Chain A
Amino acid sequence: MREIHVDLIIQRVKSMVMDAEYNLPDDFVKAVDTAKAFEESPTGKEILETILQNAQVSSKEQVAYCQDTGYPVFFIEVGQDVHITGGNIKDAINEGVRQATKEGYLRASLAFDPVFERKNTGDNTPALIYFDIVPGDKIKIKFAAKGGGSENQSKQIMLKPADGLEGVKKFVLKTIANAGPNACPPFTVGVGIGGTFDYSAVLAKKALFRPIGERHSDPRIAMLEEELLSLANQLGVGPLGFGGTVTAIDLKIEVAPVHIASLPVAVNIQCHANRHNEIEI
């Protein structure tokens, strides 16, 4: 049994949250830079350049890339040979978020309840945490700051098996086109196909963590990713929806086994404030 103290988890979570909020991932920044050459609209090109400048400034000055510092979402894999000491892991994650919010000058963006008072929780907790138990003696923590604007344009549908691949494609492209300027393109698009109603959405969110340009290991899915990415960039949405040829930087699909009666599809839209990172303890 390896012992890991909660103080270490608090410290590492706090620094990973602040790091994600100030510094966009290198692979995404490089991809936006590359995309400038493919953008036909002058305004679109200018916006991609502005996005890169914003990334430079937020990183240099250590300030939030976007004022919407997002809903803190964690995917945590806990090795079954790890023993957490000094407290419990959920509290430690939330304490890390709380400290990052205060010391990192992040916006408090969560409300306690959805339809009554909607009073702000004040410190971005409680975070949304998905746990998984895995072999080994390490803890792997993936974090995403999920902005409300792009989350609001994400969608789920329960298609019929007869709708098939064509139905999936149509739904994904329609969701991207409808998200348009509201969700701050260029997007990274996460697609979850299969599982249950809820799990398709989890898959879509998980897909967003895959490095830019890395294709699915199943060649059929890899081809579908490339086809949908190419079609997404023909929708005309363009950077920030002002029209153009760079609507999505990447599109990733995750799949899961499915009930014989069902074809769940979820599309999670990620804006250009593509803030996520991962650590291992």
Chain B
Amino acid sequence: MSEIKKIATPLTDEVIKDLKAGDRVLLNGYVYTARDAAHKRMLEEYEKTGKLPFDIKGQVIYYVGPTPPKPGQVIGSAGPTTAYRMDKYTPKLLELGLKGTIGKGWRGHEVKEALKKYKAVYFAAFGGTAALLSKHIKSSEIIAYEDLGPEAIRKLYFEDFPVIVANDMYGGDVFEEGQKIYRKIEIDP
């Protein structure tokens, strides 16, 4: 297990270059939430207006649709959703300056290639551990698409939010590398 790296958003090329698949990272600072419906709308709007609802340069998008906060909570349970569903939209967002995404599960070939091309990373958070992860979110504010409810775009403030670098800018993949070690039987694809 590598040592834990503490990094802050927005992310620079220098920070990205130093991240390798498997690295443990504690993320700090502002990130934006978006999942299926918000991605679809963002990219449709961008096609028409050339604008996104927030300045995406150097930013990180967390794929999450939280539960509503109970009284006294900043945000409800807030773990990652499956990332590949956003694959259709991700290369374009990376081209526009997005530097990181947080989700769970595999990314497709095109996203991995775009991570290399635009120097960016995909972080995996521990899926389903939503009650624990929400404790690392210190503020939450809806900044766009409020009508989408849980799928609205929120600006969150992270304090030591734990993630693992899943795909780095060098083509590394933590899931493939990890599973190879423990695979005792092969299944034809």
Interface pairs (28), CB distance under 8 Å: A54-B129, A54-B132, A58-B131, A63-B67, A63-B131, A66-B128, A67-B66, A67-B79, A67-B130, A105-B69, A107-B66, A107-B67, A107-B76, A109-B65, A120-B150, A122-B149, A148-B81, A148-B82, A184-B127, A238-B178, A238-B182, A240-B126, A241-B106, A242-B164, A242-B178, A243-B180, A245-B182, A272-B128
Q: Which residues of A contact B126 (CB under 8 A)?
A: 47, 50, 240
Q: Which of A42, A106, A182, A243 contacts B104 (CB 8 A)?
A: A182
Q: Which residues of B contact A65 (CB under 8 A)?
A: 77, 128, 130-131
Category for how many chain A residues contact B: 35 or more
B68 touches A170 (CB 8 A): no
163-189 of chain B: CB within 8 A of chain A: 164, 174-175, 177-185, 187-189
How many interface residues does B have (CB within 8 Å)? 48
Complex CA–CA separation, A245 to B179 (angstroms):
9
Q: Which residues of A contact B84 (CB under 8 A)?
A: 182
A264: CB under 8 A from chain B? no
Q: Which residues of B contact A17 (CB under 8 A)?
A: none
Known: A67-B66, A105-B69. A241 touches B175 (CB 8 A): yes
Question: Nearest 7 CB-CB pairs, A to B?
Answer: A243-B178, A236-B183, A182-B105, A234-B184, A236-B182, A58-B131, A54-B129
A237: CB under 8 A from chain B? yes
Number of cross-chain contacts by CB at 8 Å: 170
Known: A174-B187, A184-B128. A120 touches B105 (CB 8 A): no
17-62 of chain B: CB within 8 A of chain A: 37
Q: Which of A54, A120, A173, A236 contacts B131 (CB 8 A)?
A: A54
Known: A53-B132, A118-B37. A66 touches B179 (CB 8 A): no
Q: Main SS of chain B's interface residues? A: loop
A235 touches B81 (CB 8 A): no
Complex CA–CA separation, A277 to B178 (angstroms):
34
Q: Main SS of chain A's interface residues? A: loop
Which chain B residue shows the least CB distance to A53?
Answer: B132
Known: A64-B76, A235-B185, A272-B128. A69 touches B67 (CB 8 A): yes
Known: A65-B130, A149-B81. A181 touches B106 (CB 8 A): yes
A177: CB under 8 A from chain B? yes
Complex CA–CA separation, A120 to B150 (angstroms):
9
A107 touches B65 (CB 8 A): yes
Q: Which residues of A contact B124 (CB under 8 A)?
A: 181, 240, 242
B178 touches A41 (CB 8 A): yes
Q: What is the minimal beta-carbon distance from B132 to any residue of chain A, in angstroms?
A: 5
B70 touches A243 (CB 8 A): no
